[in-house]
Amino acid sequence: MESTSAEGVSDSLYIIASQAFPKVCAEFGLQGSPDPAEVSGRAPERSKELERRRVGAFSALFQSHGLGWSDVFSRSDIGAERRMVAEFVPKGSSVLDVGCGRGYFTFACFGRAGSTVSLDIMDGESRKGWWRQFGATGRALGLGGALHPVRASAVGLPFRSGSFEVVASVHAIRNVDPADLRALIDEAFRVTAEGGRLVIAESIIDERDRGAYAELFRIRVSMGWEHALPRPEELCRRAGAAGFREVGVQVLNTDLRYAPVSFPFDASRMEGLRGRYEAAIAEVHAIGERHPPVFILTAKR
Ligand SMILES: C[S@@+](CC[C@H](N)C(=O)[O-])C[C@H]1O[C@@H](n2cnc3c(N)ncnc32)[C@H](O)[C@@H]1O
């Protein structure tokens, strides 16, 4: 059953709540003062008070209007964008979500896919506590019993050949070591059933367009949190080489805020980058959050 409590909210829920808050305020005539200058992301220390107020406001709304966290998810940009990507999944199909991370794409598949297995390597300090959050968020959304998390690497999938009708990877390629990309796509091909589908969604980072996002991406790459993104053509070539057919790419240019923009600044490791980080965040404040376009690669086995 879906949770109608806003207590003990996890980072993953807070991210979607902060996105949905202005919309929910407008829709339900809620007293609240969303900070229009705030960019989405993990709550920095200075926003803790804001976070507490928001969570209190959601608690009241859940009680007075019988709403729950799934209403918040569907009103968040992250939820809306993942549901757009989930439309590339044929209804009722069995899905493997490769690099599920916080689980937003897995959650968006519910009601569309027949079943979803969520796979992630969850290694390193930056993924500490993510499985716990994945479970807690899923339970808050009322999906607890239907979650199937598997900790493994995409380059050695612990499944029999042809196990899934869809293998999807959403905003995860950026976290995969480029040396592993070929093996990831070969493995995706192996576990996709005959006639099944590959779906890959990732950002198009372009220097000339929304440069602040490209700069923030470069900072994350230099911190070792993400990798340089392959171009869509390169992924198409790899998918074809792995044996997929009817490989194609579509571009979604929605302006939806599909990923947190700000990230906690670790002064001890990022000192040399502070000026660049602050300038890029200031530019995002100035132009408003307009996220880069997303490409969706689809292919058939
Ligand atoms: C940005 S998150 C994914 C976002 C998520 N799919 C969503 O819809 O919000 C990327 C994830 O890819 C995972 N990852 C990176 N390399 C991997 C690998 N070789 N195998 C499995 N997961 C991997 C990371 O641990 C991380 O959690």
Domain ranges of the chain: 11-75, 77-300
Is pTM, for the whole model, over 0.95? no
The closest residue, in CA terms, to atom 10 on ligand 1 is 172
Q: How many helices (H) and strands (E) does the chain have?
A: 11, 7
Rounded Cα distance between 195 and 220, Å, is 37
pLDDT value for 37: 44
122 alpha carbon – ligand 1 mean position (Å)? 7
**Residue 40 near residue 289, CB atoms below 8 Å:** yes
Separation CA 286–CA 278 (nearest Å): 12
Q: How many angstroms separate the CA atoms of 160 and 158, rounded?
A: 7
Distances (CA, A) of 21 to 50, 223, 268, 272: 11, 31, 33, 34
Angle between helices 11-28 and 77-86 (to 10 degrees): 100
Per residue in 242-261, pLDDT tens?
A: 999 999 999 999 889 898 88
Under DSSP, is residue 148 helix (H, G, I), strand (E, B) or coil? coil
Question: Which of 172, 195, 187 is CA-nearest to residue 105?
Answer: 172
Contact of 297 with 200, CB cutoff 8 Å: yes
Distance 172 CA to ligand 1 centre (A): 4
Read out DSSP for 241-297?
HHT-EEEEEEEE------S--B----HHHHGGGHHHHHHHHHHHHHH---PPPEEEE
Q: Which residues line ligand 1 (CB under 6 A)?
A: 82, 99-102, 104-105, 119-122, 127, 153-155, 170-172, 175-176, 180
**Lowest-confidence region among 9-18, 42-51, 97-106, 171-180:** 42-51
What is the per-residue pLDDT for 42? Answer: 53
pLDDT recorded at residue 36: 46
Beta 245-252 vs 294-300: how paired, if at all?
antiparallel
Query: Nearest C-alpha to atom 13 of ligand 1 is from which residue?
Result: 99
- Quote the percentage of the chain above a pLDDT of 90: 51
Residue 129, Cβ density class (10 Å: 0-12 exposed, 13-18 middle, ≥19 buried):
exposed
Does the 77-300 domain belong in CATH 3.40.50.300?
no
**Region for 66 from its dihedrals, namely left if φ exceeds 0, alpha if ψ lies in -120 to 50, beta otherwise:** left
Q: How confident is the model at residue 32 (pLDDT cuts 50, 70, 90)?
A: low
Separation of alpha carbons 201 and 171, rounded Å: 6
Nearest to 269 by CA among 301, 222, 231: 222
E-assigned strand segments in the chain: 94-98, 115-120, 149-151, 164-170, 192-203, 245-252, 294-300
DSSP per residue, 213-232: HHHHHHHHHHTTSS-PPPPH
| Residue 24 · residue 61 · CB < 8 Å | yes
Q: What is the pLDDT, as a whole number, of residue 64?
A: 86
Q: Which residue has the tokens 């670790």?
A: 266
Sign (positive/negative) of CA torsion 92, 139, 84, 105?
negative
Choice from 19, 100, 185 to test ligand 1 binding pocket (greatest atom count within 8 A of CB): 100
Decide which of 270 and 69 is more confident. Answer: 69
Model pLDDT for residues 193-228, shown as the tens digit of each residue: 999 999 999 999 887 778 899 999 998 888 888 898
Both tokens of 53, joined, read 């107020």
Angle between helices 11-28 and 130-140 (to 10 degrees): 30
